[in-house]
Structure 1
Amino acid sequence: MSEFQGTVERRSLNSWVRPISVTTHLSLSPSIIVRSKSNITTIPAIYDRRCRFRGGRDPPQKAVSETETECSIPLLAIPQEHLIPTGCGSVSVIVYGDQDKPALITYPDLALNHMSCFQGLFFCPEAASLLLHNFCIYHISPPGHEVFPPLALPQEFLQLGAASICSNDPVPSVDDLADQINEVLDFFGLGAVMCMGVTAGAYILTLFAMKYRERVLGLILVSPLCKAPSWTEWFYNKVMSNLLYYYGMCGLLKDCLLQRYFSKEVRGSPEIQESDIVQACRKLLEERQSINVLRFLRTINRRPDISEGLKRLKCRTLIFVGDSSPFHSEAIYMTSKLDERYCALVEVHACGSMVTEEQPHAMLIPMEYFFMNYGLYRPCQFSDSPRSPLSPSCISPELLSPESMGLKLKPIKTRVSLEV
């Protein structure tokens, strides 16, 4: 097994964050099932780029062999936070990249923000090169879920995490949050945008696309929701609501949320330690204000069924879901309700709901094919790498036919070992 090692330095609003070591292992990919309702074709062999992030000191450097490469990933942009007043309160938006480029907006799942929901995807070098080369990224946080506190707070109250929302403020509806996104786009003067959301965030962005069709170029949805909560989900959410109300962000609540996000393979067991990404997410959950999470949970638990409106959605849609996700069946159902000419489903083997963190490498190739229909590609220095299965010479000409959403895919299964 070969390794790609590099060091990424991220900058916050006011100070440098310590370097984060990125180790990427290259091996044969886990099973990925790609579904569409059009024609079938073979997908080139894909490689697993599994990213692990460890703060603090870098491990001892090894000599670079022919199968190993060392590089330093450049800091592409200093993130800027904007606190934007809207009709239902202020919303935090973190902007990365050149604002002259097309916009890609993200929206996270319950109790998460862009650092805990999309960091795995954007810290994978090839995925980052694809997205940051083509887009300016606008990470929208649900109210009270921002990474940094409101800038107007006195310095002594600054901490990594949002301030509590007043309990007397009305709880916004899902329509309010969709309208809030429209106000954010107006603030930045954006037209049509690409959207990426995870679970609850995917629902909000889908609703936004239904209400403001002219403002959405395409949807990338991860473990999305489209129906009203089932009795099981409703009861589960009520249990979490009571835990939040009476005990705050307690250990039991964190376990409930981690079960929502991740597969049992990475959550560990009494005999097996939790993976790095689960431990990191557990620590980030400690920074959440329980009242803010409770408000968003109540909003999502009151969501209406939007299935009937999906047929009228004409933007291209790419759906990812882990086969261990508690929302797997809902993603399948949502795909069946979308116009078959504009949608495709990617099922990721041995993965939970948050594919962006658990197996971000599985998103790379489907996203690249998806973006080809918009004339967007990865920069040449990555595409021409001999390790890349997406070099132009490796892409079958049939795959470039503008059929369906620009893809010619039907169900295939590639069951291979995770180790070479």
Structure 2
Amino acid sequence: MADTLQEVQLTEAVPLVSKNPVQPLVKDDVNQSKSPDPVTIKVHDIDTAYGNLHVTVHGVHKGNRPAIVTYHDIGLNHNTCFDALFADEDMQEIIKHFCIYHIDAPGQYPGAPAFPEGYQYPSMEQLAEMVPTVLHDLGVKNIIGVGVGAGAYVLAYVALHYPSLIEGVVLINIDISAKGWFDWAASKFSEITHTIVDVVLNHHFTQTELHEGGDLVQNCRRHVLQDINHYNLALFFRAYNSRKDMDLQKASPASSNLNTIRCPALLVVGDSSNVGDAVVECNSKLDPTKTSLLKMSDCGGLPQVAQPNKLTEAFKYFVQGMGHMPSSSMTRLVRSRTQSRNSSICSIDDGRMRSRTRSQCSTGSP
């Protein structure tokens, strides 16, 4: 497969949320991390059977440890979707142990040229089939996936069909179901009567969030207006709206031949998110001994951006539960948790993440 490579210095990251709502979003792949030391990144463009994928690699592969692979949602790219999470101060204690591979969906990275008229955009299943090719070309044997929305669907598909590649998966705002006829017709009408910007904002945020128009909403609006090719974005959006039902079967420790995700999974959703019911439904179909559901209080459509510190804490215990975090690296995170008991995660108990079987989990619970 063809692969072009660039090497740059990573020195600072600019998250989607900022104290100054007029601060511009990052428009290219050269960001700066809040980590005190500069990190060298490499940008790959990798050809697959279904098109080219833009992959940004942070760090170098760490021995036998899995890599962290991210996949963003509609209307975002790896910068705007994940910068707030991976620039979080507490996250630095985690990511120094892993190499991170950020995958941008075709045509969604900053500065991507418009696809030619009539271009056949890959289906969601084809987007997922591109991931193993990328991993093979980059010499990655196993991963911990972190996906949001459409990206969560892609990584869930990979976990389902290529279980040997994925050790664990974090699925934020996952919806594994195909759109029903009514939802499909409503989305088509929305595409006709609304701009792509409005369609994307309604995908991410509740009507309450849109009405309040906070910094996150305004920054997301500006990003979609200025930083993404709208033709390419519309193709990605339509692919997601045309996704097939993943048809997961209820898993149990005794089952062996079911169509289900068998690796450890952390499902995350804001308590006021548009996709709350879909995430709970997905949780009900996974193995309760390997799955945790984190329902974040006072949070809407983009929990990894709005409350990265809470998600960092959950991610820490998720990774530790798979045996990849040395206990000596947990000191500052444990201290941080002690200082903020009120925002602790209810599925965490004595340093371990417990699976939720019949109940949902919310931050702020006693």
Q: TM-score range by the shorter chain?
A: 0.7 to 0.9
Question: Secondary structure of 2:126's partner?
Answer: helix
| Whole-Å separation in 2 of the counterparts to 1:21 and 1:145 | 18
Which amino acid is the alignment partner of residue 284 of structure 1? Answer: H
1:119 deviates by 1.3
Any idea what the Cα deviations from partners look like across 1:231-277, whole Å, max 9, x if unmatched?
4542343235436xxxxxx8x432332232235565453xxxx3333
| Whole-Å separation in 2 of the counterparts to 1:340 and 1:77 | 38
Which amino acid is the alignment partner of residue 306 of structure 1? Answer: M
Any idea what the Cα deviations from partners look like across 1:326-383, whole Å, max 9, x if unmatched?
1110001000011111111011122222211122222122212211122233785772
Tell me: CA distance 1:181–1:264, structure 2 relative to 1, closer, same or farther (3 Å).
same
Which amino acid is the alignment partner of residue 369 of structure 1? Answer: Y
| Whole-Å separation in 1 of the counterparts to 2:14 and 2:240 | 35
Tell me: CA distance 1:260–1:13, structure 2 relative to 1, closer, same or farther (3 Å).
farther
Matched-pair contact (CA < 8 Å) for 2:170–2:266: yes
Which amino acid is the alignment partner of residue 121 of structure 1? Answer: L
| Whole-Å separation in 2 of the counterparts to 1:347 and 1:255 | 26
2:285 aligned partner: 337
Matched-pair contact (CA < 8 Å) for 1:254–1:282: yes
Pairing 1:405-416 to 2, within 5 Å after superposition: 407=354
Any idea what the Cα deviations from partners look like across 1:99-150, whole Å, max 9, x if unmatched?
23531111111121111111111121112332x1222111101110012xxx
Matched-pair contact (CA < 8 Å) for 1:263–1:351: no
1:230 deviates by 3.1
Question: Secondary structure of 1:318's partner?
Answer: strand
Which amino acid is the alignment partner of residue 341 of structure 1? Answer: T
1:237 aligned partner: 187
2:199 aligned partner: 256
Tell me: CA distance 1:319–1:414, structure 2 relative to 1, closer, same or farther (3 Å).
closer
More deviation in 178-187 or 303-312? 303-312
Percent of residue pairs bearing the same amino acid type: 27
In the superposition, the TM-score normalised over structure 1's length comes to 0.70
Q: Is structure 2 residue 157 aligned with structure 1 residue 218?
A: no
1:327 aligned partner: 275
Structure 2 unaligned spans of 5+: 1-5, 24-33, 252-259
Q: Is structure 2 residue 273 aligned with structure 1 residue 362?
A: no
Tell me: CA distance 1:163–1:375, structure 2 relative to 1, closer, same or farther (3 Å).
same
1:285 to 208, 224, 232: 224
Matched-pair contact (CA < 8 Å) for 1:383–1:390: no
Matched-pair contact (CA < 8 Å) for 1:120–1:357: yes
Question: Secondary structure of 1:79's partner?
Answer: strand
Matched-pair contact (CA < 8 Å) for 1:105–1:139: yes
1:296 deviates by 1.2
Which amino acid is the alignment partner of residue 399 of structure 1? Answer: D
More deviation in 72-81 or 321-330? 72-81
Tell me: CA distance 1:230–1:327, structure 2 relative to 1, closer, same or farther (3 Å).
farther
| Whole-Å separation in 1 of the counterparts to 2:271 and 2:280 | 10
Pairing 1:151-166 to 2, within 5 Å after superposition: 161-166=111-116
1:185 to 121, 132, 135: 135
More deviation in 293-302 or 210-219? 293-302
More deviation in 283-292 or 325-334? 283-292
In the superposition, the TM-score normalised over structure 2's length comes to 0.79
1:77 aligned partner: 39
| Whole-Å separation in 2 of the counterparts to 1:386 and 1:89 | 43
Q: CA RMSD for the aligned pairs?
A: 3.4
Which amino acid is the alignment partner of residue 289 of structure 1? Answer: N
Tell me: CA distance 1:369–1:234, structure 2 relative to 1, closer, same or farther (3 Å).
same
Any idea what the Cα deviations from partners look like across 1:189-223, whole Å, max 9, x if unmatched?
11111101011111111111111111111110001
Q: Is structure 2 residue 273 aligned with structure 1 residue 350?
A: no
1:301 deviates by 1.7
Matched-pair contact (CA < 8 Å) for 2:84–2:304: yes
Tell me: CA distance 1:104–1:415, structure 2 relative to 1, closer, same or farther (3 Å).
closer
Structure 1 unaligned spans of 5+: 1-11, 23-49, 58-71, 148-160, 244-249
2:74 to 110, 114, 135: 110
